[in-house]
Amino acid sequence: MCVACDWAPHFQAFGGHAVNRRAVLRSGAAMTATAMTATAMTATGMTATALALDRVPTGARAGQGSGRAAAAEPADVVFHNGPVYTVAGPAPWAEAVAVRGNTIVHVGDAAGAMALAGPATQVVDLEGRLLMPGFVEGHTHPFLGAFLTSGVDLQLDDLAQVLAAIEAQARAHPTGPIRGFGWRVDMFPPEGPNRAELDAILPDRPAFFFAIDGHSLWANSRALAMAGVDRDTPDPIPRFSYYARDQKGDPTGYVLEVNAVLELVNAVEPISVAAMGSLLEGWLPKAAAAGITTVFDAGVPPVGSDQAAIIALYAEAEKRGTLPFRVSASYSVKSLPIDDTVEQFNAVRRQVSSEFVHVDIVKIVGDGSQGGYTAWLIEPYADLPDSTGGSPFTEAQWHDLVGAVDAAGFDVHVHACGERTARVALDAIEKAVANNPARDRRHAIAHLVYVEDSDAPRFARLGVTAQFSANWSSADPDTLQNMMARYGAHRASRMYRTRTILRQGGRVSFGTDWPAAGYVSTYEPLKSIQVGVTRQLVGRPDAPVLSPAEERLTVAEAIHANTMGAAYQLRMDDRIGSVEVGKRADLIVLDRNILAIDPHEIHRTAVVLTMMDGVVRHRA
């Protein structure tokens, strides 16, 4: 089989070239055919080729100091004639990169890369395009996103448009439940949506619609009845995950937080392994087209209580050759009991483990969201002064849970929208550090809408990664209206202080938290990076800048958060996250240099090629 012939289709758009087939054959035994495995790339209708080459051992980082690799064997691919942004390593910029098998073997000057070119090496002319590491998503939900966004899109400006979209969806799908995602909290009063609006247009069919923050649901009377929810139904977690009720005690159709939400969803349209697998398969090419080469799945929708059955779908996609990214999955803890957390986590780890898929982290759902008054605050909500929100766990339970996971040698990843959750999580980690043996810890706390001044320096001191969904940090209508109402001017003017964490010596990672968002849902890292840099709505260069404006990052800082920052969080920084000799060939090519353009244009950038583990996963 001709290596040059099989690689060529992926690179023709770049002006790539190689010695012709006749020349390759003339080279005889020096370039014997290499086993090839074809992988369908459904995003583009082309066929990608997975190279089953001899792999350079992880520890063999030849030429690390000079950026040159030992030339015992030729490279399979050489990229040149375009800027290479390395993110980390000896130098931030390079002229060329060479890849052999799944490993980067040269980063440096073009002459050094070309010296590794053999008769079958695919030489790719970048024609000025930017080569950089693939994006590492430090917090996202592929299964939830694929499920939630498979219905009607309700990311619209007002309630009338939302109801019209629901009616249109019902006409287009005349049987079965109607579902959707994306209604914005700011279009309803503080008590949330009501089933009456849905009953008026869908009196006989069950319907439920997820809010854009992913933490609440709007259901009609038929859906509530199918779930057996009435005035006598107990709330799964009182005052945290519950069914909102009117003055008579009847459910309004507003359902808050995951326990109550899953009870209703599974009664109306049960989550199944087969359905989740099909939905994921449809999304995977989109992830590759967004330049994503690694994800941290921060929680899957379980089938009953079985999280492993869903996580295993990643490994099945890997076997089929359709998984375009590495997966660090989590075992989620969202409510009591917690005594057997480590045991349950280890059971899932044993069930799901492959080359690209691992269950590495315990995810703790520490609170809810500000929109539904379920984020756990230190001071009361400005517009609900008798409430500070809540958590599924008491402070004592927090200490027990984090302490047990840490003592077993594992990392926690905490959902913390509220500042009290962030503080209690830091307290629990600090206690674990004091009580348990010293080790390399990679704990992370996510979202961090608002953090008190006294707690911000603790991230650096305790070595805790501050994980931000940068795409949340724009001055959008939800933030300017809803969050201002919830927090009051003092707190609302000091949200998402990413640069503060960096300035104090802390580590930051990015992840979109798809599908959850405050105003615009996206799984695309480029859009998240742009918001992290501008703190403005994408596509609106004249939009307000979210205060404090000095929290805006540089493009380089934002890229680092979505590559090396997230790779460090996931304990993969020795293998991925930067373009360095000896690391895995997880690379993307962008049609423009995002470090040299107006940051407001970053979202227009196209990912023209995605390579993961040395295999082309996407080509535009």
15-33 per-position pLDDT tens digit: 555 433 333 322 332 223 3
Going by C-alpha positions, the residue among 527, 515, 523 that lies closest to residue 558 is: 527
- Cis previous bond, 548, omega within 30: yes
H or E element: which one contains 357?
Answer: strand 357-365
Q: Where are the domains of the chain?
A: 75-128, 178-268, 331-576
Domain 75-128 sits in CATH 3.30.420.40? no
Judge whether 572 and 328 are in contact, CB under 8 Å.
yes
- DSSP label at 52? -
Q: What is the mean pLDDT of residues 565-592?
A: 98
Domain 178-268 sits in CATH 3.10.310.70? yes
Report angle CA 523, 293, 155 to the nearest 5 degrees.
5
225-259 per-position pLDDT tens digit: 999 999 999 999 998 999 999 999 999 999 999 89
pLDDT of residue 186: 86
Q: What is the DSSP string of 17-36?
A: B---HHHHHHTGGGG----E
Residue 436: count of CB within 10 angstroms of its CB: 16
Judge whether 53 and 101 are in contact, CB under 8 Å.
yes
pLDDT of residue 304: 78
Judge whether 3 and 24 are in contact, CB under 8 Å.
yes
Q: Write down the H helix ranges in 59-155.
A: 110-114, 142-148
H or E element: which one contains 404?
Answer: helix 395-407
Q: Which fold has domain 331-576?
A: TIM Barrel (3.20.20)
**What distances in angstroms separate CA 165 from CA 183, 370, 439, 519, 533, one per listed residue?**
11, 26, 53, 18, 33
pLDDT of residue 14: 54
Q: Is 447 helix (H, G, I), strand (E, B) or coil?
A: strand
Kindly state the percentage of the chain with pLDDT values over 70. 88
Q: Write down the H helix ranges in 133-233.
A: 142-148, 159-172, 195-199, 221-226
CA–CA dist 327, 359 (Å, integer): 8
356-396 per-position pLDDT tens digit: 999 999 999 999 999 889 999 999 999 999 999 999 999 99
515-525 per-position pLDDT tens digit: 999 899 999 99
123-171 per-position pLDDT tens digit: 999 999 999 999 999 999 999 999 999 899 999 999 999 999 999 999 9
- DSSP label at 526? H
CA–CA dist 194, 198 (Å, integer): 8
Judge whether 162 and 187 are in contact, CB under 8 Å.
yes
pLDDT of residue 17: 52
- Per-state percent for the chain, helix, strand, coil, to nearest 5: 35, 25, 45
- CATH topology match: 75-128 vs 331-576: no
Residue 97: count of CB within 10 angstroms of its CB: 29
* Res 1 pLDDT > 90: no
CA–CA dist 458, 480 (Å, integer): 28
Buried b (16+ CB within 10 A) or exposed e, 154-170: bbbeeeeebbebbeebb
| β-strand pairing of 292-297 with 607-612 | unpaired
449-488 per-position pLDDT tens digit: 999 999 999 999 999 999 999 999 999 998 998 999 999 9
Judge whether 363 and 330 are in contact, CB under 8 Å.
yes
